[in-house]
């Protein structure tokens, strides 16, 4: 019984960790927004109060923090993530339709969306290339090859498919955790046996298609 309780405790902590990380990230962004918009303390607190009914970030739950950040976005704040570890300029992804494969366009679109959802800290093409390199290297090791694909644009159709499914699963998993943390009923497939498909989960997270 003790061992079972310990396992349950570990699983609960593992599930809560991504939510705690997201809350911390949101608090950081809201503080950045305050400085970026040059708000004095009174106006800042009033905006928080009007948005959520609370004037303290620490008192807010996850949905309230997301709601507060959205208010600052509406006032002109544009969240960006800086990387102090490197001075290398990040390359942005090319416009949709420029890729040799439609699946690569989808990969880039999901990567950018993951950045907007704060699932990843860097949604530049440079960061995506690094992810692709790791993913393709992982599959090549089984074939006695020691080098991954260095650029997203160079992937073959089978490689792009694997990367696309990996990103969708990662993104979906994080959004499901956040939806549950918001206290919402998760949308399920028609049989009611598992969560709905990727597109439905993204739409639910963004506030579309609520029952």
pLDDT digits (tens, 9 = 90+) for 137-152: 876 545 555 567 888 9
**Is residue 166 very low, low, confident or very high in pLDDT (cuts 50, 70, 90)?**
very high
State mean pLDDT over 108-134: 91
Provide the token pair at 152. Answer: 């997203």
- 122, exposed or middle or buried, with CB in 10 Å at 0-12, 13-18, 19+? middle
Three-state DSSP string of the chain: CHHHHHHHHHHHHHHHHHHHHHHHHHHHHHHHHHHHCCCCHHHHHHHHHHHHCCCCHHHCCHHHHHHHHHHHHHCCCCCCCCCCCCCCCCCCCCCCCCCCCHHHHHHHHHHHHHHHCCCCCCCCHHHHHHHHHHHHHHHHHCCCCCCCCCCHHHCCHHHHHHHHHHHHHHHHHHHHHHHHHCCCCCCECCCCCCECCHHHHHHHHCCCCCC
The domains of the chain are located at 2-74, 102-205
pLDDT over threshold 50, residue 9:
no
Question: Per DSSP, what are the bridge partners of residue 103?
Answer: none
Place 205 in a pLDDT band, splitting at 50, 70 and 90. Answer: very high
Q: Place 85 in a pLDDT band, splitting at 50, 70 and 90.
A: very low
pLDDT at 3 over 50: no
Tokens, residue 57: 């970030």
Per-residue model confidence (pLDDT) at position 77: 81
Instruction: Kindly list the distances between the CA atom of residue 121 and the CA atoms of 22, 53, 147, in Å, as whole numbers in the listed order.
Output: 11, 29, 25
Q: How confident is the model at residue 88 (pLDDT cuts 50, 70, 90)?
A: very low
Q: What is the mean pLDDT of residues 125-139?
A: 87
Dump pLDDT digits (tens) for 37-82. Answer: 788 888 888 889 988 999 999 899 888 888 888 888 888 887 765 5
pLDDT tens digits, one per residue of 15-28: 446 778 888 888 88
């Amino acid at each position: 019984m003790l061992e079972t309780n310990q396992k349950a405790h570990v699983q609960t902590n593992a599930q809560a960790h991504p939510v705690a990380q997201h809350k911390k990230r949101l608090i950081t962004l809201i503080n950045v927004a305050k400085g970026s918009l040059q708000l004095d303390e009174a106006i800042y607190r009033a905006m928080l109060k009007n948005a959520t009914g609370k004037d303290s970030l620490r008192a807010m739950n996850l949905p309230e923090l997301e709601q507060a950040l959205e208010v600052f976005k509406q006032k002109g704040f544009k969240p960006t993530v800086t990387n102090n570890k490197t001075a290398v300029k990040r390359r942005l992804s090319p416009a949709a339709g420029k890729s040799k494969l439609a699946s690569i366009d989808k990969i880039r679109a999901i990567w950018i969306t993951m950045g907007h959802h704060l699932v990843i800290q860097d949604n530049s093409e440079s960061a995506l290339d690094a992810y692709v390199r790791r993913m393709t290297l992982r599959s090549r090791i089984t074939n006695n090859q020691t080098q991954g694909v260095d650029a997203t644009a160079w992937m073959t159709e089978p490689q792009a498919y694997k990367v696309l499914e990996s990103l969708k699963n990662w993104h979906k998993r994080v959004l499901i955790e956040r939806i549950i943390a918001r206290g919402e009923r998760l949308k399920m497939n028609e049989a009611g046996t598992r969560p709905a498909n990727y597109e439905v989960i993204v739409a639910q997270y963004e506030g579309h298609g609520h029952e």
